[in-house]
Amino acid sequence: MNILDTAHAVAHDYPGGCESLAPRVGMSAAVLRSKVNPNTDTHQFTLMNAVAVTDMTNDDRILEAWARERGYVLVKLPDAAHCSDGAVLELMAKTWETNGEIGKEVNRTFEDGRVERREVGRVKDRVWSHISTLFGLVGRIEGMAEDK
């Protein structure tokens, strides 16, 4: 999903949609709807708009979409206060789960003996999710490191 499609989803998924979100980011609902509409050229969704919407919604999908389009993986840094053995085990289980999701998607892709572009996209989505989870695990373990 590209950045503008993602911005559209974030704005419309906010509780109350654009009508509720727009005043919180300093614009009318009509203007916000136009800015996040991928088919409208009259209003532009700016970087400052993206920051404001991300901060207000506490939804990182726009940031994640941009990172992904640029070939990066976005990893949220762990809060050192929440770095526990249980949290690490939880992340380990998540990495096993996301690894399994890659395998399932690859199997679905080859079921009919053909590989379609949309199927490649789904495999890629699963791989990105797995990589992000792995980096989150590493970040969590780093957060637990004691300086000696």
Residues 85 and 74: their CA atoms lie apart, in Å, by 23
What's the pLDDT at 66?
Answer: 93
Averaged pLDDT for residues 1-5: 87
**Local confidence band at 10 (pLDDT 50, 70, 90 cut-offs):** very high
Phi-psi region of 45 (alpha: psi -120 to 50; beta: other; left: phi over 0): beta
Question: Do the Cβ atoms of 36 and 28 come closer than 8 Å?
Answer: no
What's the pLDDT at 133?
Answer: 85
The answer, yes or no, to whether residue 134 has pLDDT greater than 80, is yes
What's the pLDDT at 86?
Answer: 75
Lowest pLDDT segment from 55-64, 117-126, 135-144:
135-144
What's the pLDDT at 148?
Answer: 65
CA dihedral sign of residues 67, 3, 133, 137? positive
Averaged pLDDT for residues 40-44: 91
Percent of the chain surpassing pLDDT 70: 93
Q: 55: which residues sit within 8 A by CB, 6+ positions away?
A: none
What's the pLDDT at 131?
Answer: 86
